[in-house]
Structure 1
């Protein structure tokens, strides 16, 4: 079977996009996705994203397999690539610049902007321990500046779910964090029953922070959209950030806003790299 694909990236967080509109089931398995994501023996990517038929009156359904074969609820950089991808699939028949996308984290709304950026309504953040989930606090409590012992060191952490679970810790020098060794220890810590994405954040100004991320199921990536949103929320909750800020990732910046209606908005690029056939 031949499968056409398009390679995209959002700030270096890269994906294989597959037109899956003819079926409500992904056309490849998680095991096959692992092989495709291999950067030496496959195409190379942080994940494989499928554009499936919409559910519950949405335009499309988005599913994603990480490079380790696991399936996350959502992906912030991925959904910007997804929006650009489906707009390209529609071609001349396209009659809108905003889409309702069904995901495992709920309905997300990306909008293609005139300047080529994609702005996504990411919905409401989830703040209670039971929603994230984590056992750092009672299920109906928020986790703000809780102490967590990891690798023999105490870290002050704030936990937020933006569809995916995130643990954010603020540090003096984000470049000095040994991400490749400390990241897995956070991800698999027993207080996170569904594992965790971890963001290490350096506050430069209240409207500008630097962030590095260890992603659950993908490891070190150049950017994480849901993580950037969670970082801003954590910054506001801890009094370190304004409600709108630029989050600088290794792959580039994202503009994040936690609006007065409590909804999160993320604006950033999505870039097509190449297309091919499996």
Structure 2
């Protein structure tokens, strides 16, 4: 079977889009793993599959490169929105994900904003293995946790360069406190409107950036009283903006760029 795809990236956070509107959905965990392999496949951090939807421009399903499904992906959502806004000749579009209906808009300079929905702050929604204060977890470094449709754990550090996510991240991802695993981020607050972020991504390793991780890091920083409601998030691959008023939806804004298109062969 041949699957046409488009590959894009958001500040180095790369993903592919497979448009199956009007067709069946053939993607399985095995196929996602095969396509995600950077040596024998296309290679990506996430895969977005577009499907028909009655109440939005498309329904979007997400896969990690290791074949696990996920509910949310801020970078791939912006990439899908960019393409479908071009297709529709519009500066706004609504997509349906497992997080619900997400409104996306075009900004200047090939930037796309997506309203990612409100964060989940209760322990059972993250999820945690037991009832704990998600703002102060009983782990060394006293991280905070929340969910953006996927679990996140945020450590605030004095020197981001003193932390290697590839060393600290894997054990934390699989810590018993997180029954579904977790994304792990390390944040240095540069000022109330600017943070430096490095990431260990659940099921993906160390990416150059991650939309949901940027959102969750800002949410936890605002909850800690460290940040204002608009924050520039500097990742290894570049900078995005996150807005959150402390109550409603988190809005993620950043650039997306096409990389290539082609046909993937799956058997």
TM tier, shorter chain? over 0.9
User: What is residue 74 of structure 2 aligned with on the other side?
Assistant: 76
**Number of equivalenced pairs:** 264
User: What is residue 99 of structure 2 aligned with on the other side?
Assistant: 105
Task: Mark the runs of 5 or more structure 1 residues left unpaired by the alignment.
Answer: 149-153
Over residues 104-135 of structure 1, what are the superposed CA-to-partner deviations in whole Å (9 max), with x where a residue is unaligned? 12221111224310011111111111111113
Q: Secondary structure at the match of 2:128?
A: coil
User: What is residue 37 of structure 2 aligned with on the other side?
Assistant: 38
Is 1:17–1:85's contact at 8 Å kept on the other side of the alignment?
Answer: no
Over residues 232-264 of structure 1, what are the superposed CA-to-partner deviations in whole Å (9 max), with x where a residue is unaligned? 111111111111110100010011110365221
Q: CA deviation at 1:43?
A: 1.3
Asked if residue 215 in structure 1 is aligned to residue 201 in structure 2, the reply is: yes
Is 2:85–2:92's contact at 8 Å kept on the other side of the alignment?
Answer: no
Is 1:145–1:238's contact at 8 Å kept on the other side of the alignment?
Answer: no
Matches of 1:69 and 1:114 in 2, distance apart? 34
Over residues 62-99 of structure 1, what are the superposed CA-to-partner deviations in whole Å (9 max), with x where a residue is unaligned? 111111000011101110111123234x2xxx142212
Q: CA deviation at 1:146?
A: 2.4
Is 1:259–1:265's contact at 8 Å kept on the other side of the alignment?
Answer: no
User: What is residue 134 of structure 2 aligned with on the other side?
Assistant: 143
RMSD: 1.5
Q: CA deviation at 1:29?
A: 2.1
Matches of 1:191 and 1:18 in 2, distance apart? 35
Q: Where in structure 2 are the equivalents of 1:59-74 lying within 5 Å?
A: 59-74=57-72
Q: Which moved more, 1:72-81 or 1:112-121?
A: 112-121
Over residues 194-238 of structure 1, what are the superposed CA-to-partner deviations in whole Å (9 max), with x where a residue is unaligned? 111111100111111000111111111111111111111111111
User: What is residue 131 of structure 1 aligned with on the other side?
Assistant: 125
- With the length of structure 1 as denominator, give the TM-score of the two structures: 0.90
Is 1:98–1:111's contact at 8 Å kept on the other side of the alignment?
Answer: yes
Q: Secondary structure at the match of 1:61?
A: strand
Task: Mark the runs of 5 or more structure 2 residues left unpaired by the alignment.
Answer: none
Q: Which moved more, 1:211-220 or 1:175-184?
A: 175-184
Matches of 2:221 and 2:68 in 1, distance apart? 29
User: What is residue 151 of structure 1 aligned with on the other side?
Assistant: none
Asked if residue 161 in structure 1 is aligned to residue 147 in structure 2, the reply is: yes
Matches of 1:220 and 1:127 in 2, distance apart? 25
Matches of 1:114 and 1:271 in 2, distance apart? 14
